[in-house]
Amino acid sequence: MKANAKLISHAPLGALEILTAALAADMHGVNEIILQNLQSEVALIPQVASYLIAAGGKRLRPLLTVASARLCGAADDTCHGLAAAVEFIHSASLLHDDVVDESHLRRGQPSANDTFGNQASILVGDFLFARGFELMVAAGSLEVLKILARTSALITEGEVLQLSLAGNIATREADYLRVIEAKTASLFSAATEVGAILGNENYRDAMRNFGYHFGMAFQLIDDVLDYSADAAALNKNLGDDFREGKLTCPVILAIDAGNAAERDFWRDALLTETHTPDMFTRAQSLMHKHRVFDAVRQRAENHAAQARHAIQQLPPQPLRDQLLDVLDYCVNRTV
């Protein structure tokens, strides 16, 4: 789930900024709650947590919660606390992912584990998750709690499944889809669904489906960009998934289309501990050869179309169009 990072670092002034501006008062409220809840008498906690959360990020997931709530007619500010909780769940999983993946870069700066150590990242991740849970409880809806609790378990199931499949070239596209559905789309869909619950229950299914397909598209693009992001862009970290042996969609499609020699290459490359730059270049060129990027982008576009279809059930209003622009931006981004 590095996608948000890339998005944030490179977004030109565009759809995301327009939606954030349209919801400026709300996002200010969310931000206040986030900052308040990073506090602890234990100094290391706000230190590590702000390093990740307060420093950067355009807060895509909480933005989805707030946008969905307002779009569905939520009148009060309960959505602020839930949006903050969604960001805390996401941030906790980023902290743990970076330890699990031994990542050294996040949002263009050294990762928290690199800066503060794995121990601090693990424990502060736990803190953020627990604090997010407190924020959800404060919102006072058992229905919402049920969704977010289920989602939290799903995210970790997705992460564990991804870990189990690492280096295994027998992984099928269906397995990959299960992984990204659990680790990414589940939080996007929960973010939009709980927003809808606060506004108008009638739009709950529509907004859940919107979030789900948005999340699927988002992660597919993120996985393409790990092999194909604009080389001139700053802060990128091409090839992380490759070096971690992750069986993402581009890899699976390249293996499927490859001949025996290519499959041998993939098997070796995804299992080895010692990568040379040559190996990554070969991986990229095989993907180009088999037109893998277009194929994955097409899958993302299919999900985007379903997301658009889902949200059409809501009456037209500027916020709906702005949200659709964010979707388009995410699906078409090249960095």
Residues that bind a copy of itself (CB under 8 A): 40-45, 92-93, 96, 99-100, 118-120, 122-127, 129-131, 133-134, 136-138, 140, 142, 145-146, 149-150, 152-153, 155-157, 159-161, 163-164
- What the block records as the tokens of 125 is 């991740």
d(CA 168, CA 176): 11
Please say which residue, 164 or 276, places its beta carbon nearer to a copy of itself.
164
Cα separation of 266 and 261, whole Å?
9
Q: Do β-strands 109-110 and 105-106 pair in parallel, antiparallel, or remain unpaired?
A: antiparallel
What are the CA-CA distances from residue 134 to residues 30, 78, 105, 217, 229 (Å)? 15, 14, 29, 30, 38
State the minimum distance, in angstroms, from the CB of residue 41 to a copy of itself: 7
Task: Report the SS3 class of residue 110.
Answer: strand
Q: Least CB distance from residue 60 to a copy of itself, whole Å?
A: 21
DSSP state of 14: S
| Shortest spacing between CB 49 and a copy of itself, in angstroms | 10
DSSP-derived letter for residue 266 is H
Nearer to a copy of itself, 70 or 106 (CB): 106
Choice between 146 and 309, CB closer to a copy of itself: 146
Nearer to a copy of itself, 124 or 279 (CB): 124
Shortest distance (Å) from residue 250 CB to a copy of itself: 23
Answer yes or no: are the C-beta atoms of 148 and 85 closer than 8 Å. yes
Task: Identify the helix (H) or strand (E) that includes residue 106.
Answer: strand 105-106
| Shortest Cβ 44–a copy of itself spacing (Å) | 5
What is the rounded CA–CA span in Å between residue 230 and residue 251? 19
Closest CB 262 distance from a copy of itself, rounded Å: 28
